[in-house]
Amino acid sequence: MPTETGVLQFLKICDSFYPADAVDASISQQRQWYDALCARFDQPVPEGLTSADALVSDRIATRHYRPKAIRTETALLYLHGGGFVVGSLESHHAICAEIADFAGAELVSVDYRLAPENRWPAQTDDCFEVLKHLLVSGRQVVLIGDSAGGNLAAGLAIRARQQRLGGITGQVLIYPALGGDLLSGSYREMQNAPGLRTSDVAYYRAMVKAPPGDPVAEPLAAASFAELPAAFITVAHFDPLRDDGRRYAAKLARAGVEVWFREEPQLVHAWLRARHMSDGARVAFRAVCEAASRFAAA
């Protein structure tokens, strides 16, 4: 367990909205709990920032954030977390707004299809369609995602490499799920960590039904990590997903890819929502924003 007061207060609030055994409930109940939890931590958007919803390819809902001061034409593409089962444009609304405002860049958030109603590759296909839409329009793109969204972001970088699509200037992966072995490393050490358990990760994998060993679904399984975009990867110490990010950063570095890596010693999974109440999360979130800004200016 962490000892930072702000993190402990955050966990207490989370427990009051989202029970530890939430995955045992119905899908609709899980989504209701998650939406209520995210609403509890909602924040007003930065002054002067505007947002508008739009469809891509007449079916994929997206939300476009435009800060008052635009300093780059590079777009930020945000893919939300939630185990592929929960989450929406609303769940990460303030997070997206704050990143866009800090970077001075337009940000596009994707409301990709959720499991179990839609199994893999529906999620990556929706996100890849939006990515191609941005790239075809001539924009450069920074990929950003947390948790399951970090999985999708890393997978998009691999898909883009497979199809020889240029224009991705960086990837920001926040406590990403990248397909690690559930029986070893942090999956074993942190199997009962607060906020996310290893059994929860197994549940989400069973819901999305991605093929084991596919590099887009499990980026750690890629045969090569060369020629992927520069990456900023941040993990939480008290998180079963911790070693996924550690291992991915090491593989990218060995392949000659520029990598920035942070491990937050007092943080837990989903700390993004604690960014206004935890000192550790506040510093970690600023590092995320600075990485997005740096890649957008590249």
Which positions are annotated as active-site residues? 147, 239, 269
Sign of CA dihedral 207, 186, 79, 298: negative
The DSSP-derived string for 137-199 is TT--EEEEEETHHHHHHHHHHHHHHHTT---EEEEEEES------TTSTHHHHTTT-TT--HH
SS3 state of residue 76: strand
Residue 285: closest CA among 126, 144, 142, 125: 144
- Supply the DSSP symbol for 41: T
Cα 266–272–277 angle (5° rounding)? 70
Q: Which two tokens stand for residue 18?
A: 């989202």
Maximum Cα interatomic distance, the chain, rounded to a whole number of Å: 48
Under DSSP, is residue 42 helix (H, G, I), strand (E, B) or coil? coil
Alpha carbon distance 124, 147 (integer Å):
14
Cα(220)–Cα(154) distance, integer angstroms: 10
User: DSSP characters for 262-284?
Assistant: EEEEEEETTGGGGTTT-HHHHHH
